[in-house]
Structure 1
Amino acid sequence: MSHSETSADLVRHARLSGLLYIVIILCGLGAELVLRGPLIDFEDAVGTATAILAEPGRFRLAIAADLVMALSDAGLAITLYLMFHAFGPGLALSALVFRLIQTVLIVVSLMALMAACLVLTLTDAPADAASLALLFLDLHADGYDLGLIFFGVNSLIMAALVWRSGFFAKAFGAGLALAGVVYITGSSLRFFAPDLSSAFAPAYGLPILAETAFCLRLLLQRRVA
């Protein structure tokens, strides 16, 4: 393959990756913070059930947004692999696998959301439907956090690939590495030290900044000289 062809491929894959990244960020944050999050209070099962039943369309829209996010994430895993496999085939394949594992876990956890919705809308719903629905919602949150552990590993590997490639400023690699550390730490705290989880929550702002910056950089990728 000629240098010009390699450059054209890089630009095409980078821009497609950037577009997919935008969809992931908007759908992921929109589903969690705008659509679903305001309806859920893990300390109030009845209040949560009431909120969901009052706006079932909003709750289902959040599930749809998460599904679009997962589909885009699978596509992004492939385009990033195509971009970076020349700079470390083993690393690029590892990043692909860890990101796809995260995607699978997110999709599987959506079943817990559907179960919560089903329990609440059954005509013969059990007396403890609200508590059972909240249990499913908590299971979804656990599944999401489990996926973030694998995504954190992916971020660390991607940081190494970005650093090695020479196509991007090393600051982007450092940002992805920091994001990986935050994801792994935050999810680990949720599972093994939940009392510290809330205090660590503001740290998730760092991955949002790092990933948004990398997303924009991908969109602005130009032909390599």
Structure 2
Amino acid sequence: MKTANRKEDFQPKPAIIAGVNLMLMTIAAFFSYGYAHSSLVIYEDAAKTHDLLRSSLSLFHMEIAGWVVIILTDLIVAWALYKVLKPIHSLYALLAGVLRLSYTIILATAVFHLLIVSRFILDNSGTGEHVMTNLLLFEKFWSIGLIVFGFHLIIVGFVALKAPFIPKWMSILLIIAGGSYTLIHSMYNGLPQYETITATMEIILSLPMMIGELGFGIWLFIKGIQNLHTSRSSYLGAS
């Protein structure tokens, strides 16, 4: 098992790839869940949700396309973060990658239920109850996946703490974000009777949950660009 923490162990190209894909993923998530899904799904009214999906099917298909983008970028990020973290601690880097891959598989399972909803609407073969059942299954699987995702962020944060080239505040923010995801979605799935309290906690913790990984992605991108520029300048100077 290789463990290293020298500044020259930073991998700029994988860092840039991870940063770009994390930012793309965030944009896709804001659209797919923050805009499209929240506009089309009314959990208290299955019939109205069914009608909204029928009248705005193109928007729903765009939402699904956004989730596909998230799945693909998640796969790329799993590889890129492994490359970035491997020189710091190879075993934990592998564990973080496996956890992210597991989360991505669970997310893909969740999105499959959105495809079922699309088929119901296209074929006019499902009732509002059928549609709502699959929308709730999407939420259920995704929420379970976010528990795994939280553990992934915690591992990434702990590995980042060992690296001199990653700011400590960034590492701590990743750990807080990961702990928040795991806590909130464990409560949603394990303590449904406290859903109101959990929802309040989610609002309070939404900021660190949102900026934890996104902030890390922006930092990776900027740091990677700076390192590439420095390396290129050193090479040209030496020549």
With structure 2 as the length reference, what TM-score do the two structures score?
Answer: 0.86
| Residue correspondences, number | 217
**1:113 maps to amino acid:** L
Q: What are the ranges of 5 or more consecutive residues in structure 1 without an aligned counterpart?
A: 1-5
Q: Are 1:99 and 2:76 counterparts?
A: no
1:130 aligns with 2:131: no
Asked if 1 retains the 8 angstrom alpha-carbon contact of 2:10 and 2:165, the reply is no
**Structure 1 runs (4+) greater than 4 angstroms displaced:** 6-9
Q: What residue in structure 1 maps to residue 216 of structure 2?
A: 214
Between the aligned residues of both structures, percent identity stands at: 20
Alpha-carbon shift at residue 13 of structure 1 (Å): 1.4
Give 2:237's aligned residue: none
Alignment check: 8 A CA contact 2:22 2:77 kept: yes
1:65, distance to aligned residue in structure 2 (A):
0.5
CA distance in 1, matches of 2:12, 2:95: 23
Q: How does 1:182-197 map to 2 (within 5 A)?
A: 182-194=180-192, 195=195, 196-197=197-198
Confirm whether residue 160 of structure 1 aligns to residue 158 of structure 2.
yes
Q: Do the aligned partners of 1:21 and 1:76 also contact (CA within 8 Å) in 2?
A: yes
Match of 1:180 among 161, 178, 182: 178
Cα distance between partner residues in 1 of 2:158 and 2:208 = 18
Provide the C-alpha distance between the structure 1 equivalents of 2:151 and 2:202, rounded to a whole number of angstroms.
Answer: 19
Root-mean-square deviation over aligned CA pairs: 1.7
Distance 1:151 1:35 in 2: 23
Per-residue deviation at 1:87?
1.1
**Matches of 1:40 and 1:197, distance apart in 2:** 21
8 Å CA contact 2:9, 2:87 repeated in 1: no
Matched with 1:3 is: none
Q: Following superposition of structure 1 onto structure 2, how do residues 31-110 of structure 1 map, counting pairs within 5 Å?
A: 31-110=32-111
Report the Cα offset of residue 79 of structure 1: 0.7
One-letter identity of the residue aligned with 2:207: G
What are the Cα deviations for residues 49-103 of structure 1, in whole angstroms up to 9, with x where unaligned? 1111110010011111111111011101101101111111110000000000000
**Which letter maps to 2:186?**
S
For residue 8 of structure 1, report the CA deviation from its aligned partner: 9.1
Classify the secondary structure of the residue corresponding to 1:35.
Answer: helix
Alignment match, 1:18? 19
Contact 1:30 1:65 in 2 (8 A): yes
Q: Secondary structure at the match of 2:11?
A: helix
Retained in 2: the 8 A contact 1:36–1:58?
Answer: no
Structure 1 counterpart of 2:141, one-letter code: G
Question: Aligned equivalents of 1:191 and 1:198: distance in 2?
Answer: 12
CA distance in 1: counterparts of 2:39 and 2:151, whole angstroms: 30
Aligned to 1:220, what secondary structure does the other structure show?
helix
